[in-house]
Amino acid sequence: MDKQPSQQVLRLENVTVRRGNFLLNQISFSVRAGEIVAILGRTGAGKTLLLETIAGFSRPEAGQVFCRGTDVHQTPLHRRNIGYLYQDFSLFPHMTAAANIGYGLKLRRLPREMIRARVEEMAGRFGICRILEQYPGTLSGGEQQRVALARALMLQTPLLLLDEPFSALDPVTREGLYRLLREVCGEFQCAVVLVTHDFREAAALSHRVGVLLEGSLRGIVPADSLFDAPWDEETRRFLGLEPVKKE
């Protein structure tokens, strides 16, 4: 149960989504400001569908998704105030890195100098100042990742959704980005939902971890007790834990 409901950013209430034969069944959880929640699951468990539903791209059959008290599916896409980072980064290929990062600010009609200053400040944090005038196609995977993350964080949205964002990166780059993400999200008080199939990533990056198996959320526990929590047999198998011995 949330200790500080006033800081709650995201709330899912019995969300059920159907896509073809697949069913995301009665998902409920909440995320507070500054908190990172990782959802672990195998490929095909419904992780991306869950994120798309939270972002409002997929409409639930039942249940509701609230972002800061507002039903996401009743809010126009451009007013949802949610950051989303796709697995393939989805950078705008016809814009430079700087234009990608500053896109949201430009839409808010901020003065050009202010946009430049804020983009450079964010780029400085992510160590990408020297690539700001380059186009996404000329950047490495790690650089694209940093640009996409900087773009998603630029608007300081209260909610950030990350779809397996670090899966294509080498371990050193990944560790650096974990640190950076925690630091920036803590500073911006941004609630983060991250979906991944990597146990280590989930434990290293998040405050709480949920396990999603075959469209059903088996529970959410503090990250440091991921392997000690009283999971059901299937979840224990997924986590690679010994079956519980029956007395």
**Residues at the contact surface with another protein, assessed by CB under 8 A:** 55, 57, 76-80, 82-84, 86, 88, 90, 92-94, 103-104, 107-108, 135-138, 151, 155
Nearest to 82 by CA among 161, 184, 27, 146: 161
β-pair partners for 195: 39, 163
- Specify the residue, 104 or 176, whose C-beta has the smaller distance to another protein: 104
Supply the minimum distance, in Å, between the C-beta of residue 105 and another protein.
9
Nearer Cβ to another protein (106/130) = 106
Nearer to another protein, 70 or 138 (CB): 138
Write out the two tokens for 217.
């959320």
The nearest distance, CB 232 to another protein, in angstroms, is 34
Pairing outcome for strands 191-196 and 36-40: parallel
- Least separation in angstroms between residue 112's CB and another protein is 16
Torsion angle of the four alpha carbons 85, 91, 95, 97, in this order, in degrees rounded to the nearest 10: 70
Q: How far is the CB of 82 from another protein (least distance, A)?
A: 5
| 76 vs 243 by CB, closer to another protein | 76
Residues 218, 225: Cα–Cα separation, whole Å: 14
Q: Which helix (H) or strand (E) holds 199?
A: helix 199-205
Q: Which one, 59 or 179, has the nearer CB to another protein?
A: 59
Q: How far is the CB of 235 from another protein (least distance, A)?
A: 31
Which letter, b or e, does each residue of 42-79 get, where b requires 16 or more Cβ atoms within 10 Å of its Cβ?
Answer: eeebbbbbbbbbbbbebebeebebbbeeeebeeeeeee
